[in-house]
Structure 1
Amino acid sequence: MSNDERNLSGDQPQPNGDYFSDQVEREISVTAAKAAAEAARRRAKEAIAAAAEQSRGEKLTIKTNSGWVHGRLEDVDGKFIRSWRGIPFGADTSGPNRFRAPQPVEPWEGIRYCNEFGPVAPQPTYSWHDRIIGSEDCLHLDVVRPDTDEELPVVVYFHGGSFIVGSSHMLMLRGFQLAEAMNVVYVSINFRLGALGYLDLRSLSDDCVANPAVMDQLLALQWVQDNISAFGGDPNSVTAMGESAGGAAVLTLMASPAAKGLFHRAIAQSSPVGMIHSRTQSTWWARELVKRMALPRGSTVDALREAEGADIVRAGQSMMWRNGEILHLNSSYSPTVDGDLIPDHPLEVFARGEQMDIPLLIGTNSDEASFSKFVFQREHIRQRAALRLLASYDEDNAPGVVEAYGGAANRSEFAELLADALFWAPSIRVAQSHALKNSTWMYRFSYASKALRALGLGAMHSMELSNVFGDLSASRASLLLKMGSSEEMEELTVVMQRHWANFIHFGRPGDDWPIYTTSASDAKENKHPAPDAERHGLALQGKPPVHRATMVFDVPHTVVYDPRGERRKAWNDYNMLEWGLGRPDILAKIEFLIEGLSP
């Protein structure tokens, strides 16, 4: 062997070229065979679906008030469901329609093929650039149902996303598995978001409405009443259901007289309903938007109508993240108390018993804000931040609440305080108020995979959706969820879907979930221990009743009475109704602006 040959080979025997060539060819052949087999399976499924669609042509072609729509069959784990994507229920909201009440969609001729999802509402992408996606022609909804002719109860779903992002057809929310597992007609809706939907601009001029997004939701609910029977849904059995901002939308609608009769049960998951805007708060953000748009101070809504919608969304993002108001729990976007559509803060409406008289299922997750464990590095900074968060609403009672969380000095207690301020404490207020009005059930979702627990994240915000919707792979944390017991996830999914389905069909979850009661609700109903006392959380044999039954969803699931009772009591006197009370200088400035706008 020559020196050159030894250097090239490293004194190692060289492989036979023919052998390796054959090996590569075999691997390519195997890969090609797998791809061909997969393509063949896909073509077979498509052929079966096409044949099924042809045979069900009449079932997929539906007459609505606006025109005919034709849907498609979806294959879900070997079962077909019927689906109609992107049905318009409202007209384009751009240009002269921007910031105004939505209008019904113009009727069309012929058959509209609803095979593709409609455009999302304009929203940021949270990427390295400031690209905005979506269209202001976004008022569309999607309908899904089992492939049967049975009349079924209806679920109308309001997506979350902090009132800023989201859509009816996010992968998790398409509802294919939910509709099949719970045997319901599932309707998921789009509505305006961010500065285009959740910002009251009446302080700039009165040529607008205070709550465009809420009006979109009402229009969608009216569409359901007018059209859902054609899809096999029962318009007299409609459950409004939502998570996060969508949960707040549900509770807000329960407090709106305009929504009366449009739905008959409510499910509110992880609702930040305490964040509803006052007129003062809306004025603050309207002026901030004008500033971020680089418009003259005296600009009216007309100037914003002439601007590009994407520029408004970008300006809205800028004002939300760059002025530090999030550290005061001063959210940029939310429904606004306008004295008409939303006559008062929903928590006040519930406290007075003026909300809808319908059954309610409500709850939160154990670790809603676990991400905040990593926000502040030092104890004294966390403590100051905790007081600042709460003092903007109630300066007098904020210290007592913070003290109930050990001063919020360590990471876990700070995260629990933030989660409770946003989600748990307002939900408790709603539950105890509604228990005086109608049947109420409270839950706490505490399940977390081993990976989520190891990372200190626990049962994060929105984690329960994987179990309710029955689609583990659709979660943004699917990899972390899969790093655990699939048997546990399946067990919990079966339990939760059983309770949700029972509530949707009959207005109550399963019999092993006691109703939520308080001493006040017992007194109002003049309740005493009765044959069904165990179901209602009441003790037998003359013992005092046990209140505040809460279903804890974990493996195993269990019922706990008044969980975290001491912390619940710490929130009793805290005023969570109006931002700004602990910031008198800013409040005075904004009140001056409002007075200057008065006739």
Structure 2
Amino acid sequence: MASVRTDSLVVDTPSGQVSGYAEGDIVSWKGIPFAAPPVGDLRFRAPVAREPWTDVLDGKDFGEMAPQGRDGPVPMDPKMVIGEDCLSLNVWAPRPDGVSRPVMVWIHGGAYALGSSAQKIYDGRNLAHLGEVVIVTINYRVGAFGWVDLSSVSDTFDTNIGLRDQIFALEWVRSSIEAFGGDPANVTVFGESSGGASITTLMTSPKAEGLFHKAIAQSSPATSVYGPDRAETVARRFMELVGLSKDRASELRTMPFEKIVEASEKLVYEIPEKVPGTLGLAPVVDGDIVPRYPVAAFQKGFSHKIPLIIGSNHDEASVFRLMRSPLMPVTSDTVSKMFDAIAVDHPDLAPARVAEIMAAYPDLPKSSGAIALSRDAGFRMPSLWIAEAHCTHSQTFVYRFDHATPVLRAARVGAGHATELPYVFGNFGTFDRDPTFWLGGRKAAQQVSRRIQRRWVAFAWHGVPAALDGSKHWAPYDDVRRRTLVIDGNDSLVDDPDKELREVWGQRVLGFS
């Protein structure tokens, strides 16, 4: 039985003892391994259990960051060690006192290609303190290590490795979190971008059923899940980039990880440049971890019957224009290429239907029109398709995050992709020379942040996202009124704010990512 000694904050887990570090009333345990190092014969394989350790594990520092480049669009702490022994997680919790508290497990985003649970913005201390909850942030393999499906190259490689890592981490939570004061029967997963899409995918995976009891999907590109034919094409290109033929696939086990990272980064940029609107690396429908395309699975009633919060940001695609990233089409040319690719994959799609959608964006010749269409295709409509389906059997709450500080409005970023993250964790100013409050707005942002945090933790406690401070009641979404919480300086509950979008796009998923 897992236990904790409150005098020294040493926790006994099934894997071994871990020492924690207190700051005020919150204790952190960082860098806890939840699986064996995925190296050698375990590279490109599903995670396996780690041998228990005998000494007390020092929980002061984060574990290694999953292999990735350091020069990506998201700043990473240069002091972070990059390495393949990356399957670790971190826990923040109130001092153990015998109370069993809800657990919130964070799955970070990063286009399945970058990111880490050690990013400062994901520090769980503030959220654990405010909500009296246990926060867990997890690592999983990113880039080619986690998301290139090499099963077509050799049956010694596994599919959907990144999702398998996430499931393995959730299994660790189920078996170990009680020692940290967490309730294994009350686990909420929450995540953003590819982390949010991981959640909407896991909600349709039989292998993940029962591992979490509530879900919050922020800005989920839920349709960015691809079939085996496309996966085989990506695998073939990956093998070309690493310079190996199919009969030499075993050499991937010993290849320096830096060479794999280099090939991975090329895939991440090359594929969406060739086919705008698609991700280079993403989950694959494999008949096992992912038996069906997730949005279609939701629409057919195959999602887990659990409460869900789902939503997106008002200006999702704006940051991709500033980043000059190919991950989303933000020009009229790339939007046209995206529709051309969809027409190839869906020959039954009537040209008139495509024309009808494009006509709904009169500014499409301009960047603003392309950004709006990409926002809706990539984030807003997938979230609505899921909400429309899930609300027929489970409590579903839909939001749109509209808040932006004056400088973000001036820079035409607005409520761009990932701008809600500091509000959720209560961590502002985590980047060097953070411009967020250069033109003011700190007080208003902190008030918005407090409301979001209270809603998120109330949902973890009770399955209902009440702010508990007199803020607007958040009624559940249904297929009649479609009530949506618009989060801004003052929250508002709006009946069907996306009516025009729904009428334009309809219920059919066109293959957008």
Shift of 1:476: 6.9
2:280 to 321, 332, 355: 332
**Residues of 2 paired with 1:499 and 1:334: CA distance?**
30
- Whole-Å Cα distance in 2 between the matches of residues 485 and 384 of structure 1? 36
- Partner in structure 1 of residue 131 of structure 2: 182
Distance in 2, matches of 1:408 and 1:300, equals 47
**8 Å contact kept, 2:271–2:278:** no
Contact 2:331 2:371 in 1 (8 A): no
* 1:518 correspondence with 2:475: no
Distance in 2 (alpha carbons) for counterparts of 1:197 and 1:496: 31
Indicate the residue corresponding to 1:490 in structure 2. 446
Q: Would the aligned equivalents of 2:395 and 2:476 in 1 still touch at CA under 8 Å?
A: yes
Give the 3 Å change call, closer, same or farther, for CA 230–367 of structure 1 in structure 2. same
Letter in 1 for 2:31: G
Q: Give the superposition deviation at 1:454.
A: 0.8
Residue 147 of structure 1, CA deviation: 2.6
Name the residue aligned to 1:135. 83
Contact 1:124 1:133 (C-alpha < 8 Å) held by counterparts: no
Which of 178, 183, 207 is equivalent to 2:156?
207
* 1:324–1:192 Cα change, 3 Å: closer
Q: 1:472 aligns with which of 428, 440, 443?
A: 428
Alignment map for 1:503-582 (pairs within 5 Å): 503-510=459-466, 512-519=473-480, 547-572=481-506, 574-577=508-511
Instruction: Provide the rounded CA distance (Å) in 1 between the counterparts of 2:248 and 2:357.
Output: 41
Q: In structure 2, what is the Cα distance between the partners aligned to 1:100 and 1:563? A: 44
Residue number in structure 2 paired with 1:444 = 400
**Matches of 2:70 and 2:334 in 1, distance apart?**
28
Question: Aligned partners of 1:403 and 1:253: how far apart in 2?
Answer: 35
Equivalence for 1:156? 105
Shift of 1:390: 3.2
Deviation at 1:59, TM superposition (A): 5.5
CA-to-aligned-CA distance 1:119-149 (integer Å, 9 cap, x gap):
0110111269xx9962111110001012351
1:568 shift after superposition? 2.1
Match status 1:121 vs 2:66: yes
Distance (whole Å) between structure 2 residues aligned to residue 65 and residue 326 of structure 1: 47
Q: Is the 8 A contact 1:265 1:359 kept in 2?
A: yes
Distance in 2 (CA, whole Å) between partners of 1:216 and 1:72 is: 26
SS of equivalent to 1:58: coil
* Residue deviations 1:431-475 (CA, integer Å, cap 9, x gap): 111001200000000111111111111011111111111111225
Residue 421 (1) aligns with residue 377 (2): yes
Task: Give runs of ≥4 in structure 1 deviating > 6 Å.
Answer: none
User: Relative to structure 1, is the Cα distance of residues 320 and 301 closer, same or farther in structure 2, using a 3 angstrom cutoff?
Assistant: same
One-letter identity of the residue aligned with 1:423: F
Residue in 2 that maps onto 1:81: 26
Which residue is 1:502 aligned to? 458
Q: Distance in 1 between matches of 2:163 and 2:45?
A: 11
* Partner Cα separation in structure 1 for residue 188 and residue 178 of structure 2: 15
2:271 and 2:280 in contact (8 A); partners too: no
Q: Is the 8 A contact 2:151 2:159 kept in 1?
A: yes
Paired with 1:167 and 1:324, the residues of 2 have a C-alpha distance of 23
TM-score by length of 2: 0.90
Point out the more displaced range, 384-393 or 284-293: 384-393
Partner of 2:42: 97
- Which residue number in structure 2 is paired with residue 106 of structure 1? 51
Distance 1:309 1:578 in 2: 32
Counterpart contact for 2:272–2:280, Cα < 8 Å: no
Q: 1:399 to 1:306 in 2, by over 3 A?
A: farther
Q: 1:355 to 1:323 in 2, by over 3 A?
A: closer
**8 A contact 2:30–2:89 mirrored in 1:** yes
Partner of 1:408: 364
Kindly indicate which of the two structures has a greater share of residues assigned to helix.
Answer: 1
CA deviation profile, 1:335-359 (whole Å, cap 9, x unmatched)? 1110111100111110111111000
1:235 — aligned with what?
184
Determine the structure 2 residue equivalent to 1:26: none
Alpha-carbon distance change, 324 to 345 in structure 1, aligned in 2, over 3 angstroms: closer
Amino acid at match of 1:416: A
Contact 2:224 2:279 (8 Å CA) reproduced: yes
SS at match of 1:551: strand
1:70 CA displacement = 0.8
1:34 maps to what in 2? none
Matched to 1:398, the amino acid is V
SS of match in other structure, 2:342: coil
Aligned to 1:302: 250
Shift of 1:371: 3.2
8 Å contact 1:247–1:269 — kept in the other structure?
Answer: yes
Q: Contact 2:123/2:427 (CA < 8 Å) preserved in 1?
A: no
Query: 1:187 & 1:260 partners in 2: Cα distance?
Result: 19
CA contact (8 A) 2:68 2:142 kept: yes
SS in 2 for 1:358: coil
Give the residue type in structure 1 aligned to 2:286.
Answer: D
Aligned to 1:226: 175
SS in 2 for 1:478: coil
Q: Which protein is bigger by CA-based radius of gyration?
A: 1
User: 1:110 Cα shift?
Assistant: 2.7
Counterpart in the other structure of 2:196: 247
Match of 2:337 in 1: 388
**Cα drift, residue 210 of structure 1:** 0.7
From the superposition, tell whether residues 409 and 127 of structure 1 become closer, same or farther in structure 2 (CA, over 3 Å).
closer
> Are 2:275 and 2:341, in contact at CA under 8 Å, matched by a contact in 1?
no
Rounded to whole Å, the distance in 1 between the matches of 2:512 and 2:88 is 33
**Structure 1's 196 and 235: CA in aligned 2 closer, same or farther, altered over 3 A?**
same
Equivalent position of 2:469 in the other structure: none
Find the residue that maps to 1:442 and give its secondary structure: strand
State how far apart, in whole Å, the 1-side matches of 2:81 and 2:19 are.
27
Measured at CA, do residues 407 and 390 of structure 1 come closer, stay the same or move farther in structure 2, by a change above 3 Å?
Answer: farther
**Distance apart, 1:326 and its partner CA:** 5.7
Structure 2 equivalent of residue 594 of structure 1: none
Does 1:67 find its partner at 2:16?
A: yes
Asked if 1 retains the 8 angstrom alpha-carbon contact of 2:424 and 2:453, the reply is yes
Q: CA RMSD in A?
A: 2.3
The alignment's TM-score, normalised by the length of structure 1, stands at 0.78
What percentage of residue pairs aligned between the two structures are identical? 36
SS in 2 for 1:216: helix
- Distance change >3 Å, CA 170–CA 372, structure 1 → 2: closer
SS of residue matched to 1:503? helix
Task: Work out the CA distance in 2 between the residues paired with 1:59 and 1:256.
Answer: 40
Unaligned 5+ segments in structure 2 are 344-348, 467-471
- 1:228-283 CA distance string (max 9 Å, x none): 11111001100011011110111111110011111100000001111012111111
Tell whether the 8 Å contact from 1:121 to 1:135 is kept in structure 2 after alignment. Answer: yes
Unaligned stretches of 5+ in structure 1? 1-55, 520-546, 580-599
Could you tell me which amino acid in structure 2 is paired with residue 495 of structure 1?
R
